[in-house]
Structure 1
């Protein structure tokens, strides 16, 4: 049974809404990623800054935690971008199928 035009239009509307929401989330994640990198830069400055003759010893655990967080944020961003690309492809296919 082929879907009715109304059902297809409704699904297309839902896909367009989801795409807009995903694009907004991608922007938020990109901002989050930049903030993580900025925090990392600040952490490195704080960890290696010298005070007088005594340099504080960098906390290796904090450095590793930062690196791990940055890697995870990058993976999440890439995953969301791939999902958005798949949705874009579906939108294009739906547009092509619904066009006479």
Structure 2
């Protein structure tokens, strides 16, 4: 019975350790994209894009970055808790 619980914890740990770098990469890329868009609002208006369109795209990238950072933090927290439990059990 104990082996099944430990196996599930190890599986959860593996999933969390895969989610952390993936969500970190997505969050970092979305942050860079949002900063580039926010810095180029004036120049994009001259190219033919409306300021509202650029602002909307910037907001969407910021929302994606926020979600990805939250997922990264949550997965990191889960990994730390699972490692702590495995240390206590083992």
Q: With the length of structure 2 as denominator, give the TM-score of the two structures.
A: 0.71
Inter-CA distance 25–47: structure 2 relative to 1 (3 Å threshold): same
Match of 2:43 in 1: 49
- Deviation track 1:18-40 (CA, whole Å, cap 9, x = no partner) reads 21121011111111112212322
Selected match of 1:35 from 29, 38, 43: 29
Alignment check: 8 A CA contact 1:48 1:57 kept: no
More helix by share: 2
Which entry has the higher C-alpha Rg, 1 or 2? 1
- Deviation track 1:52-95 (CA, whole Å, cap 9, x = no partner) reads xx476533333333322222222222122111222112111111
RMSD: 2.5
Structure 2, unaligned runs of 5 or more: none
Q: With the length of structure 1 as denominator, give the TM-score of the two structures.
A: 0.66
Selected match of 1:62 from 57, 60, 80: 57
